[in-house]
Amino acid sequence: MSLELCPLSIEDIKSELDEIREIAAKNSNKKMLETALSCIDLTTLNSTDTISSVAAFTEKVNQFPTKYSGIKNVAAICVYPNMAKTVKETLKVSGVKIAAVAGGFPSSMTFTEVKIEEVKLAVAAGADEIDIVLPLWAFLEGDFETCSNEISAIKKAIGNAHLKVILESGVLSPDQIWQASLLAIEAGADFIKTSTGKLPQAATPEAALIMCLAIKQYYEETERKIGFKPAGGIVTPEDAMLYLTIVQEILGDEWLTPELFRIGASRLANNLLEKITGNGAKHF
């Protein structure tokens, strides 16, 4: 597999984003804000996470339907793999998935065999979804075969669980983002995701646009729908509206569901909730 070039130039990307930003500014209504909240992967990935703190984190999701009747809950709780069991044992509400970052997250700097064992353990512990990182050490060398084989092997190992592949788009050029998107999709990813949130370069609208265009091209060729997840540095309702609008304009309204769109965030949920309710109290 050779490096495929992004079909849009930098100037084209900037021009499209200028138009989308104008639409996003008008998109900030209650319905869209609630859609954004319902697509959040509520995330805690701290070195100081404990069983007690993750259980308390999960309890906030349990309490949400009672406290905020009529507003849809978050889509998933995202934790380290050793905390998936805690979430599984604590989570009482239906419809909220358990996501685990695994496979050598966040650097992907370990052996494929170790990654496969880790994702299996995460699923056995209760994870419905697995977020892995594209092995950049191989991708940046042009070793696309290793990347593809590893993603395929991990997808096979997790069975019916959904696989999100993180590209770490902040360290890639537009052409590399395009190539990595198609590679991950063709290797079996159910979602492609921008970033780990562990590097200074997190999600960008430019990367989101390119990734959504790759999803669109693949869908037009195969009729298989792939999900998209921006993550890292998405904090304000305005940020969320921009990413929702990128997805809406490129992929359509049918992608604006938790099945095909997620936002990786920790602080965003409270900020959206404040905007929706007009109440400054923090729930999450």
Residues with catalytic annotation? 131, 193, 229
CA 74 distance to own-chain centroid? 13
Q: Which residue has the tokens 């021009």?
A: 15
Closest CA to 240 of 98, 38, 90, 87: 38
- CA dihedral of 171, 176, 119, 243, whole degrees rounded to 10: 70
Q: How far apart are CA 155 and CA 198, in angstroms?
A: 23
The H or E element spanning position 62 is helix 51-67
Measured N-to-C along each axis, helices 144-157 and 174-187 cross at an angle, to the nearest 10 degrees, of 40
Q: How far apart are CA 55 and CA 258, in angstroms?
A: 23
Q: Strands (DSSP E) along 102-226, which ranges?
A: 129-133, 162-166, 191-193
Q: How far apart are CA 240 and CA 213, in angstroms?
A: 19
Measured N-to-C along each axis, helices 237-251 and 268-277 cross at an angle, to the nearest 10 degrees, of 90
Sign of CA dihedral 204, 207, 211, 216: positive
Instruction: Write out the two tokens for 124.
Output: 């056995």
